[in-house]
Structure 1
Amino acid sequence: MSPTHRRRRGAALVGVLGELLLTLGALLALFLVWQLWWTDVMADREQAGIIDGLEQEWGEVDERIAPRQDGPPPVPEIPGENMVWGKMHVPDFDRPTFPLAEGVSLEEVLNVKGAGHYPETALPGQVGNFSVAGHRNTYGRVFEDIARLEPGDPVVVETADAFYVYEVTESLIVQPQDVEVIAPTPGQPGVEPTEQMMTLTACHPMYSARERYIVHAEFAYWTDRDDGIPEALATGAGPSDSDASREGEER
């Protein structure tokens, strides 16, 4: 084989390799667009439809601030695995409202419906650890802003009958195998629960599943949905505002 022929053959191979790399680069770019953008578009549409359906089924909520209720909160009815049964409201999130379904299946819940309740954990308002998972990026990223939560911030669960208000107590980062964070007594498996707790779980860091970002919260109060919205969801009404309001009424 002559040197000229070898050079031509080498140039042809380089050309083919270059085309393959360009094709792979284009496919990777398309995959990233689908993963980081299109999955959000589709999930947002699905979740918006679910929220609209719940509002039509439950009826509108009066915007007046509902009084806090005494006594144990009602236990919500769970329609079945992978079914939506509530809404979550996190005022400090950029996307503050999203559906809540039963189960943590990626294909049936987290990728399409919103947040998912760990089936073996407590229900809202019950003694124990009501635990919820959600995506931090892609597929609607309902927990994208989970690292923004600070002690005292409200996390609210809405069902057909009631609002359940929790307040954040702490945040931590754990390994995926550290499942004791969703134990009935968080961090203490085997210990009988005495408090009404909530745990939120999401992948950490962003765009990685190497660790888990955990937020613990404790139950603060509940309100009857027929009475309006809880003060935690009233614009500009933080704990100090509501306390001041009650003090004024007492005077």
Structure 2
Amino acid sequence: MSEQSTGLKGNKLAGRTALVTGGTRGIGAAITRSLAEQGADVAMGYGGDHERARQFQEEMQRQFPEGTFTVHSGNVGKATDARQTFADVVEQHGKVDILVNNAGITRDRTVLKMEDDDWDAVLQVNLSGTFYMAQAALKHMLERGTGRIVNVSSIIGEMGNVGQANYAASKSGLFGLTKTLAREALFHLERAGKLSPDSIGVTVNSVTPGYVNTEMVEAVPEKVLEKIKGKIPMARLANPDEIARVVHFLCADKSSYITGQVWGVNGGMDM
């Protein structure tokens, strides 16, 4: 079957299995598709929209008939859910080569109006959820000696934003978590004698999107959108595919010398 008829665009990730949290919509759906275009099988985590998840799974299977696509419901902000999801993916696929921590929520209010639950819920999903998933993945990947973890942060974590103290704190926290995970991965690989000149190792990186044209943006008033675009040197929003392209690049074997890094994809907003 030709690459054009299957939707494949390359083979950088052939034989790999990826788990993408929040992988059925928005940036997550674009990441899922980008990984599949490079030959990966993909397990997609999602929250509560079962119908949307099922439809996207069927769409992916039609577009990439030789691939395997599964969906997994759960709240990554709950440690038991996160670990069970990871275990389920390993059971169904046999392994996880790539973890993309993309799941995230917002509860926007200014600091003076923010309720305790607004703060706790966002930190729990965006930061703790990433930790729970990465912890499970790191153990699995260290045993195998190879793996890729990519944490999706946000430009808000770098610049802050009015009404998003909880979101900014959670996304900023991913920078320190990413760098520590990257260091610990190499520490354990070296101790186990699994580092060598030809090893692809276990790498951990973060991608920080700017403002992206997703479903969430559709609800933003046009005047507000124009104001946002006016702050972006490139004068436009990102397409989800532009974020996904960086993710699949970091997941490739030949990106093995890149770890503990923060990759901004923001149209020049933060230079």
Structure ID, larger Rg = 1
If each structure's strand is expressed as a fraction of its own residues, which one has the higher value? Answer: 1
TM, length-normalised to structure 2: 0.27
